[in-house]
Structures are given as structure tokens and as C-alpha cells.
Structure 1
Amino acid sequence: MAVAPHHRLRRSGPAALEICAIAALYYGSARVGLLQQLVRGQVTPLWPPSGIAVASLLLRGPRVWPGIALGAFLVNISLGPSLPAVLAIAAGNTLAPLCSYLLLRRTGFRAELDRLRDTLALIFLGAFTGMLVSATTGSGTLALAGVLSTGDFWPTWSVWWTGDAMGVLVVTPVLLVLRSAHRPRKARPFRWAEALLLLAATAGVGFLVTGHTPLLFLGFPLLIWAAFRFQLAGAAPCALAMSTFAIIAGGERAGPFAGHDLLTEMITLQAFNGSTALTALLLAAVISERNQTQREIARACGQLATMAAKIASGDRRPTLPDAKHEKGEGDEGDEKGAGDPRTRQKPSPHP
């Protein structure tokens, strides 16, 4: 009788540790995201915890939702105006990724993101649709608590929604890529050199973006390069880096964000982040599907060539039973013709 409780304890131990780890990741990423807060000390243009929450649900299942709830509560307890408001905002932050997870699972989503349909599902269902829950719940709670005025509701809601959606679009693909990092693949030396060159170019463009030169558009050739050569493994980290550089520049009012009001800055920043994420994800998915199609065509051509070679070799060399059959029929016919007295030719009476 004492074996069953001990077995349940052994199973619940790793689960509790997993929940605590997700809560810690949620809290830590939230503190990093709040460094670039722009609205009311709570709303940021990129909310990494939403991406971590969706990725953890996709990789570990819905059983880890308490970790998301715990992390959201710990983050908002020092920001919310009251305990009921904190609980409501934490509930919205938990329900939003759960809705995204359920919507993605209903579409047959695959975490590899190697199909265009999976990328479109992550964009329109996981990010844009699921994050409506957290933005509406959070903004509505702040409005009911008297923190937001009537005129500030929709600007706060739009920043909240786009920030959570950008967290899913930018952070979730990177975590899904890291999921397969434990499976090493052999790569040629020039591939490593190309990856290092791409990393250096991304850092250089990021330095220009955060400076006084408005060169945001230089990030798109790097995204195309990363997607064509490395697919999602290169495009997702590159998109995250470019979005991070743009957010830093926006927070410091530097580069293309200098001399603009908050509304113009947010529109420019979120348009750039959205374009970066969409370009990286869609292009990487299309290239992955093209490569998969080429591999299937090459495999089918190889099978057809093997079958054609077998058929050709069978036509040139008839099988041994066929040869024996032909020879047996001829010999049998000759013997029958020689041994049958009715078919034996009669001697002619005339000399």
C-alpha cells in the first residue's frame, strides 16, 4: 500500500520542478521586457513571457499552465493597483496562451514549423487571435481600477495586444528551434563560417539601428539570407535580434525614432517588428517546403531508376525456366512426331 504514494511522489517531483522552471523563465523574461516599458509602466512593445508561455505549452503540454499562472502573478503583484486587479491580469495572461495552444492543436500544428500552414496558424491564431484575451482582460482591468482613463483605453489595448503578439511571433519560434538543438548535425566548415558571418552582419546592422542612422531596412536582406541558407534555425534568431535592436532604439528615441511622439513611434516600431517576424517565418517555411519537395522528387526519381534498371535487365536475360520450357516443348514435339505410327511417312510403292 505504501508503494503507490511513493510512486506518485516520484512522478510529481519532476512535474513540480518543471512548473517552477517555467515560472522562473516567465518572471525573468518579464523583468527584461519591462526594461523597455512605454505605457503606464506595464505595457511594452515586446512581451517575451507570452512567447515563452506558448512555447512551453506546445512542447510540454497543458499540464504546465500553473507555472505560467505563477509567473504572471509574481510579475503583476508589484505592478497592479490592487490584489483583485493583479489576479484578473494574471488570469488573462494565463488564459491567452492556453487559447493559443488550443487553437493551434485544433489545426494540427507541428512544432517544427516546416510547413506554411503551421507558420500561418502561429501568426493568425497563436499570436493575433490568442493574445486578444490578455490585452482585453488587462486593459479592461486597468480601466475598471481607475488606472486608465477612457481616452487611454484603446492606445493601451493596442500596445498590449501587439506586444503580446510580437512575443509569440519572435520568441516562440526561437524556443521551438532550440528544442531540436540536442540533435547535432554534421556541417561543413564553410557552413560554420557562413553562420558566423551572418551573426557578425546582424550585430553590425543592430549597431547602426541603435545609433543615429535610420537604417532599419538593412535587416531584411539579412533575414532573407538567414531564411534561404538556414531556414527557421537562422531566420528566427535573426528576427529576434533585429526586433530587440529596434526596441532599444525606440526606447532611447534614437535612429528612426528620434523626434517623433509616442503614437508615431509605436506604429513605426510595431510595423517593423511585425514585418520582420512575418518575413522571417513565412520565408523560412516556404524554403523548408521547397527543400522537402526536392528531396521527395529525388527519392521518387531514384526509385523509378532502380525499377527501370531491374526491368531492363530482366528483358535482356530470359529466366531459366522459360528456356527449359521452350526446349522441352520442342523435344517433346519431335519425339511425338517420330514415335507416332500415324504420322510416320509410308514408303512409296514406286522406286
Structure 2
Amino acid sequence: MVNSELISQVKSLKLLALRFIFVALAYILTAQLGLIGPYKESIATLLWLPSGVAVGAIMRWGSVAIPAVFIATVYVEQSLGMSLITSLSIACGNTLAPVCTAYLLKKLQFNHQLITQRDIFLLISAAMLGMLISSTGGVLSLHLNVLANTHDMVRVWFIWWVGDVIGVLLALPLVLNLNKTKLLANTQKTIQLIFWLIVFACCEYLIVNLIHDLNKQFMLTAFLILPVLIWASMMFGIVGGSLVVISLCVTAVWLTAQGYGTFYSMDVGEGLFSLWTFMVTLVVTMLLISTMQSERNVAAKNSRENDKKLRAVIDSALDAIVTIDDKGLLVEFNPAAEKMFGYSKAQVIGKPMAEVIIPPNMRQAHHAGHQQYTLTGQQHIFNRRLELTAMRHDGTEFPVELTLTGLNEDGLSLVTGFIRDISEQKKARREIEKFAYYDVLTGLPNRRLLVDRFQHAVLISQRTNTHCALIFIDLDNFKILNDTKGHDVGDQLLIEVAKRIQASLRAGDTVARLSGDEFVVILEGLNENINLA
């Protein structure tokens, strides 16, 4: 037990150490990209990707990234020839800014996959607020160490702040969404992306060297950039879009810092504004495209999941579920319907429902009702239970309980029927009625049904001014026969007597067993004259 805990602790420490080293190296390497050529008119870099790396590392791996960022910042500043005090003070600001930015994003429930436009707004806002700390702290450190003139402080501060903000916008989405699993799962796509980036770089090199007019260069570059950016953002999402935008921005910054390219200008303000506008436009466009694609993917995923759930409900339903379109053709026929009607789904889909499950004598009424619904939208028989007769594959008819519901999907009028076979219910109901109203032995109406029939006969006689008769029949010496010959013989006698009485009566007359060997006959529709009746 102790050994397993010790091994677990060692693994945790190794993981923390690896993350620490990885964050520090990533910070230093991206810092070198920002330092490939500082702008000739400023001591601050135009693009500082390490800010985004730091925020992303803190959000992904927590507190272990904070000392890594601090130490890496000190190392970078020392490599630039800064004093230890200056390096430490700048490192404090460059560490505190990512910590605050990460805190803001987590507090505001920022989704690192950027699935909504709200996430873009949160990202931009948090970057702009958080990077105020690094830019302000950095400029104050430079000023206190006499590395920045008083009249240049505002300009240097602004360049520093914008460079950090753009660095966060560019690097943070990539850091938060890049992982080994995605890279291995999309190896072919990754190779494809690298290939197109190389093709783009070659095209851009040709444009810069062959086209000397800056306006034409800009137009050609824009036409080249847009399709690559849109394709990468839609094909690879945030990761692909971020890689493309970072490549474009680093290239643009390097050319501008060297005094070349479309964005370099003798007017420092104009050149910086053009470059920053270009970078911000690229990153916002990439984020918007990725967000819209994410929203689309989420909607498609939810739709697929809902379809799966709906399909599971339909397929597992005990009732038959049948759907027809506005032409009366079947578009849904679930397994319960297959079992109930004897058809397979493949046999009936696309066929008129009336010819499949509706008896011939009811088809005309079905066509009329369905046509009225499709033309007027009237739902007189919808959303209530109806008892109808349906037809199986072999032509046999059986009673069903039907509930109809209408749905308008993409302009297509659909009607869904939920059908339940009530044959057993009907049979059980008949059995109950038989036990309640008929004598078990003879099958004749019992006392309860006799009273009902007699009341009905009296009402008919009063209405038609005719007479009815009530005859009581009793079997003589039945008890003696029953006692001497047994109950079985007595029962057979009662059954035979019941048959003979029924045979001698007219249709519509009633014979009932009152009790034991007593029978009652009701004769209806007799003559108006009581004597003749």
C-alpha cells in the first residue's frame, strides 16, 4: 500500500516537472519569435506570443505554470542584457498579467472551445484588461532603470500592451485546444495543413519579389489569405485557424520590423496601425469562423443525439407508430408496426398507407379526411383516442385504438398515428359482458339483462301503441330429476329446454333464465288489440 502511494507521488512529481519544463521552453521559444526583429522605431516588440502561452498554461495546468512563466521571463530578459532587478520586475508583471487574465476567464465561465460569440467577447475583454498589468509594469520597470524616455513612455506602453493582447488572442486558443490525441487522430489533415502553409509561403514570396507596387501586393496577399484562413478554420477548427494566423502574423511582423512589406511605413503610427489592424482582423475573423463552425457542429451533434434518442423511443415503443407525408405515403413504420401488421419496413415505406393497413370500405373516408387536413389544417379528430378497424398483411381485420398528431417539418405536412391493437381488450370486454349479462350454463340472458330487455320492450310498446307479453315457464319435477339422475343430467336438460324455447321464438323476442328451472319469455310487437295480442 505504501509502495503504491509512493509510486503515485513520484509519477505526480514527474508530471509536474515535465509540465514545468514544457511551459518554460514554450515561453522561451515563442519569445524568440517575438524577438526575431524588434521594430526599428520602438524597444517593444509588436507581437508577444508568450503572453498567450502563459495564460493558456495557467488555465490548463494551474499553479505549476506560474513559476515556470516567471523563471522563463527572467531568462528572456537576462538574454537581452537587462539587469537582474529590471528582469525580475518585468517578470513580476509578465507573470501577474497571465494569472489575472486566466482568473477572469475562469470566473466568467469562458469556454476554451469558443463555441459561442460570447466566448470571443470574453477572450478579447480579458486579454485587454489583463495585459494592462504587464505593459504598465514593464514600462515602469524600463523607466525606473532609465531604459525608456519619459516622452516615449506612452508610445512604448501602447505598443507593449497591443503586442501582449494580440499575443493572447493568437496563442491562447491554440494552447487550450491543442493536444496529442487530436494531432494523432488527424495526422493526414495536419500534413495537409502544413503542405498548404508551405504553398502559401511560396506564393507570398513570389508576390513580394515580383510585385513591387505595395497596393497590388496587399490586394494579392488579401485574396490569397482569405481562402486559406477560411479553409483552415472550417476544416481544422481553432487549432488550424490559429496556426495559420500565427504564421501570417509572425511573417508580417518580421517583414515590418525589417523595414519591408506592405505594412512598413516611414510614419510609425501609420505603419503600426496598419499592421495591428491586419493582425486583429485576421484573428477575429478566424475566431468568428471557428465559433460559427463550432456552433454548427454542436447543433449537428445535438440534432444527431436527439435523432438517436427519438429513434430509440420509436423503435422500442410497444405501440405501432406510423407516419405519412402530405401525399399519404408512409415515411415511418416502426418495429411494433411491423409486428402488428405483418409487413417489413422496407416493404411499405413510400407506399400509400391506405392500401397497406386500411380496410377497403374505409379508404375513401381516409382520403377525404387527410385531404381536408393538408388543405385546411383542420384537426377535428387529432389528439384524441379513436376506435377503428385496421387490416393486416393477410387481409384480416382487427380493432385498433388510434391517436393522431400533426407535424409541419420544413414545410412538409406529416401525420403520425399511434396505433394499439385492442383485439384482446375487446375479447376481454366481451367476456366480462357475457359473465355480467348472460347465464353461464345456457347462454341465455340472465336476470340483469332480462330487466333491461323488459324495460326496453315496454318503452317500444308505449311508443308504437302495441303490446308486449311476459311469459313465465317452470319445469315440473325438475328437482326430483336433478336429485335422482344427478346435476349433469339436470344441466343437459336445462340446455336442451333453452334451445327449444329459443327455436320457437321470433327474432327479436327474448328468453332468459330467471333461476334454477325457471325461464322468462318476452314477446314484443304484438297486436294493438289486447285480445288479439
What TM-score range do you get, normalising by the shorter chain? 0.7 to 0.9
In 2, Cα distance between the equivalents of 1:290 and 1:106?
26
Q: After the TM superposition, which of the residue ranges 329-338 and 133-142 deviates more from structure 2?
A: 329-338
Deviations 1:201-238, CA, capped at 9 Å, x for gaps? 53345435654433442323322232233332332211
Unaligned 5+ segments in structure 1 are: none
Match in the other structure for 1:199: 197
In 1, Cα distance between the equivalents of 2:190 and 2:164?
33
> Is 2:238 aligned against 1:232?
yes
Which among 417, 424, 429 is matched to residue 326 of structure 1?
429
Match in the other structure for 1:122: 123
Deviation at 1:259, TM superposition (A): 4.8
Q: Which amino acid aligns with 2:521?
A: K
In 2, Cα distance between the equivalents of 1:137 and 1:43?
13
3-state SS in 2 of match to 1:146: coil
| Kept after mapping to 2: 8 A contact 1:113/1:119 | yes
Which among 438, 445, 452 is matched to residue 335 of structure 1?
438
3-state SS in 2 of match to 1:36: coil
Deviation at 1:42, TM superposition (A): 5.0
Deviations 1:59-102, CA, capped at 9 Å, x for gaps? 11233211001101111123364322221101001001101110
Match in the other structure for 1:91: 92
Match in the other structure for 1:72: 73
Unaligned 5+ segments in structure 2 are: 322-336, 338-400, 403-418, 451-511, 513-519, 524-530
Which among 226, 246, 249 is matched to residue 255 of structure 2?
249
| Kept after mapping to 2: 8 A contact 1:24/1:71 | yes
Match in the other structure for 1:135: 135
| Kept after mapping to 2: 8 A contact 1:30/1:47 | yes
Match in the other structure for 1:60: 61
Q: After the TM superposition, which of the residue ranges 208-217 and 46-55 deviates more from structure 2?
A: 208-217
| Kept after mapping to 2: 8 A contact 1:210/1:245 | no
In 2, Cα distance between the equivalents of 1:317 and 1:7?
60
Q: How does 1:1-351 map to 2 (within 5 A)?
A: 11-38=12-39, 43-79=44-80, 81-125=82-126, 127-179=127-179, 181-182=181-182, 184-185=184-185, 195=193, 198-207=196-205, 211=209, 212=212, 213-214=217-218, 215-218=220-223, 219-301=225-307, 303-304=309-310, 307=313, 310=317, 311=319, 312=321, 313=337, 315=402, 316-319=419-422, 321-336=424-439, 338=444, 340=446, 343=450, 344=512, 345-346=520-521
3-state SS in 1 of match to 2:444: helix
**Comparing both structures, which one devotes a greater share of its residues to helix?**
1
Distance change >3 Å, CA 80–CA 132, structure 1 → 2: farther
Q: Which amino acid aligns with 1:282?
A: L
Distance change >3 Å, CA 329–CA 199, structure 1 → 2: farther
Q: Which amino acid aligns with 2:446?
A: D
Q: After the TM superposition, which of the residue ranges 61-70 and 254-263 deviates more from structure 2?
A: 254-263
Q: Which amino acid aligns with 2:205?
A: F
> What value does the CA root-mean-square deviation take over the aligned residues?
3.3
Q: Which amino acid aligns with 1:266?
A: L
Q: After the TM superposition, which of the residue ranges 143-152 and 8-17 deviates more from structure 2?
A: 8-17
Distance change >3 Å, CA 92–CA 276, structure 1 → 2: same
3-state SS in 2 of match to 1:163: helix
Deviations 1:214-271, CA, capped at 9 Å, x for gaps? 3442323322232233332332211112112211221232231355333322221111
Q: After the TM superposition, which of the residue ranges 319-328 and 57-66 deviates more from structure 2?
A: 319-328
Q: After the TM superposition, which of the residue ranges 206-215 and 97-106 deviates more from structure 2?
A: 206-215
| Kept after mapping to 1: 8 A contact 2:131/2:164 | yes
- Pair member with larger Rg: 2
Match in the other structure for 2:411: none
Q: TM-score, normalised by structure 1?
A: 0.84
Q: After the TM superposition, which of the residue ranges 45-54 and 191-200 deviates more from structure 2?
A: 191-200
3-state SS in 2 of match to 1:255: coil
Q: After the TM superposition, which of the residue ranges 325-334 and 279-288 deviates more from structure 2?
A: 325-334
| Kept after mapping to 2: 8 A contact 1:36/1:45 | no
| Kept after mapping to 1: 8 A contact 2:263/2:272 | no
**Comparing both structures, which one devotes a greater share of its residues to strand?**
2
Q: After the TM superposition, which of the residue ranges 58-67 and 201-210 deviates more from structure 2?
A: 201-210
In 2, Cα distance between the equivalents of 1:209 and 1:56?
37
Deviation at 1:152, TM superposition (A): 0.7
Paired residues in the alignment total: 347
Q: TM-score, normalised by structure 2?
A: 0.58
